Structure 1
Amino acid sequence: MSDTNRPLTNSTAGVQLQGLLGIVLLSVVTTLPCCAFLLINGTMLFTLRSKPVFTETSRYVLLSNLLLADTVQLAHNQSMFLLSACGLKMLYPLCATLSALYSLPHGVSFLTLMLMCIERYVAVCHPLRHAAVITLRNTSVAVCVLWGFGSVNCLIQLVLMLNMHFADVQSMQMSDYCGRSSVFLNESADLYDKASTYFLFASAAAAVSFCYIGISVAARSASSDRGSAKKAGRTLLLHLLQLGLSMSSLIHGTLLIAVTPHLERVLAINIQVFLYICLIILPKCLSSLVYGLRDQTIRPVLMLHLCCRHRRFSVISVIQTNPKM
């Protein structure tokens, strides 16, 4: 009897070992770039708080707010990915709360990009009014309004997701992993989520397009600073690219549903990881790379902080390798 069960036991142990190795591999492949981007974003945030020129300039305050929202989204996405990779399933109210909280920084990102475009438009097209309109106080109030609006939107989503008869649900434990496709049990919550997201995207895209057209017209005017206008125009194009990448998280699930069912399991998992890194993780680091490398004021300070942090890590690793030092 024991000899008959031994091959089955060995086979089961082998499958479990392969599953464990797959989980570890997925976690490492996605966590390493995520940690690298979190390090870059954190260094960028520290840079923007290190000097008065950054804390007292409106466009840098808006950039800091955008980076904060992107960093929160990045950490949230990776945490949820690791929970799903480990096979952990949540209670529905907890999953609904986490999903609703994710909409807060997601909406703030759209609105902050809109304000950054408007700030560049005023700076180029109405330079004499820029100092009076785009003040630090007005910018701080606008940032508070953004987070307040996002909080209201988050609360509405949570109420709609929890507005269901739990008595009709067999168990509060979710049968699937926590995600956007599994948390919207209520049709009204799904409809509101799509409507609010598309409205924010359409509003931000319209603002970017309007500002870009206005700056392009100003760039052709002989009375304007053409160099500054062209630079601002390129910045707005990058903002438009950022909007598109921010929307990429919404098509991530659709692509997976359309592509992976027709592929082998290993290839499907590889494509899932690739799309997750390209559509979810990478866009959240774009702001740091764009502004950190293009802005002549930020670049030297950012590179200094990155180099100092790299040297610090090198010294720590040497000390750990040679404890006698």
Structure 2
Amino acid sequence: GCGLLNNFLFIFFEMSNVNESLINITTEQRFQGTEERVLFSTLTALPCCMFLFINATMLRSLRSKAVFRQTCRYILLFNLLFADTIQMVLSQLLHILAACRISLTYPMCGSLTSLANLMTVISPLTLVIMSLERFVAVCYPLRHGSITSMRNTTAAISAIWTLSSLHVLTQNLLLIEYPFYQLQSLQMVDFCSMFAMLLGSGSDYYDKAFTTLLFVTAGMAVISTYIGVIIAARSASADKALAQKARNTVLLHVMQLGLSVSATIFIPIIIAIGRVVTRLNFVRILNLLYFFFLLLPRCLSSLIYGIRDQTIRPVLLNHLCCHCNAKPN
């Protein structure tokens, strides 16, 4: 579901209820050895630290100048990168906890997954608003300043956070139906993940329904703006250079949204893989998937935007090089 994006796929196999007879493995094969766990954890932790540094530098760059703090698209970009960075931190934290075989209590796990769910919803909604901003810039250039004012941008971001918070609140309310009072202890048996917190059929159905609605709606909105920008670019009165740049930007948003969707619909494929490979091999596969489907996409946004945007690029490079370069104009 929507919250699955923040839960790395490695955890899934550790606590999944895949039929053991389908996996047909011995007890010795069930878990990775200590050396291998350390190796895989290091191979994911190192790039994660690098990606976090890049994202943090990008966030710092977007707060370093007034033009970034007062322009709609840069404010929205900051909101997107902030959500992706928090997701990355939480995912790596859960990954380390699972690798170390540390289980949490239900309240602590619920707090982490709720925060991750909040950020998961914020990302696609922010992409929609960013696409609409580019659409307005091309199709309504004379009204762009008034439509994308600071007031309207703040209202849009507030609406995104409000909707995301309501989603998380609904998920938590659905947990009331679960009989926690019958548990001998609030200590979790499984590792902390969204799978472990989907307690009861109501939570599972709601998560799937909300995820489907969110990504279908966001996908239609982003694709519609892309088509609108293409049509506007063909008109004689359009600014060809601006239209071309806006089309590429919206296309990037389509790709970003596609990565989010692919990470979500990938779960059924994982279940199928888990039924035909050994547990140990499956854990190895999931470590690779964790890198390519969770860590990498959340770093690409800052790199692509930072390199493409002529205003951000010199500031970002200056910060990345720890001010070794000359200060940008």
**TM-score, length basis structure 2:** 0.85
Residues matched between the structures, number: 296
Q: Matches of residues 95-134 of structure 1 in structure 2 within 5 Å?
A: 95-134=109-148
Contact 1:252 1:279 in 2 (8 A): no
Using the alignment, how far apart are the partners of 1:279 and 1:40 within structure 2? 18
Q: Matches of residues 1-325 of structure 1 in structure 2 within 5 Å?
A: 19-308=33-322
Per-residue displacement from partner, 1:203-253 (whole Å, max 9, x unpaired)? 211111111111111111111112211221111111011001122332344
* Secondary structure of the corresponding residue to residue 246 of structure 1: helix
- Rg: which structure is higher? 1
Using the alignment, how far apart are the partners of 1:102 and 1:273 within structure 2? 19
Q: What amino acid does structure 2 have at the position aligned with 1:114?
A: V
Using the alignment, how far apart are the partners of 2:48 and 2:269 within structure 1? 21
Q: What amino acid does structure 1 have at the position aligned with 2:207?
A: D
Using the alignment, how far apart are the partners of 1:310 and 1:145 within structure 2? 40
Contact 2:318 2:324 in 1 (8 A): no
Using the alignment, how far apart are the partners of 1:214 and 1:137 within structure 2? 25
Shift, 1:309, TM fit: 6.5
Contact 1:104 1:150 in 2 (8 A): yes
Shift, 1:281, TM fit: 0.8
Cα distance change, pair 189–310 in 1 and its aligned pair in 2 (3 A): farther
Cα distance change, pair 309–29 in 1 and its aligned pair in 2 (3 A): farther
Aligned-pair identity (%): 47
Shift, 1:161, TM fit: 2.4
Shift, 1:170, TM fit: 5.0
Contact 1:252 1:276 in 2 (8 A): no
Per-residue displacement from partner, 1:8-63 (whole Å, max 9, x unpaired)? xxxxxx99xx8322222122111111111100000000000111111111110000
Contact 1:96 1:161 in 2 (8 A): no
Using the alignment, how far apart are the partners of 1:98 and 1:249 within structure 2? 19
Using the alignment, how far apart are the partners of 2:283 and 2:200 within structure 1? 29
Using the alignment, how far apart are the partners of 1:195 and 1:260 within structure 2? 25
- Give the CA RMSD over aligned residues: 2.0
Q: What amino acid does structure 1 have at the position aligned with 2:202?
A: S
Tell which has more relative contact order, 1 or 2 (C-alpha 8 A, sep 6+).
2
Structure 1's unaligned 5+ residue stretches are 1-13, 312-325
Cα distance change, pair 296–59 in 1 and its aligned pair in 2 (3 A): same
Cα distance change, pair 283–310 in 1 and its aligned pair in 2 (3 A): farther
Shift, 1:257, TM fit: 2.2
Equivalent in the alignment of 1:321: none
Shift, 1:264, TM fit: 4.0
Structure 2's unaligned 5+ residue stretches are 1-27
**TM-score, length basis structure 1:** 0.86
Cα distance change, pair 119–145 in 1 and its aligned pair in 2 (3 A): same
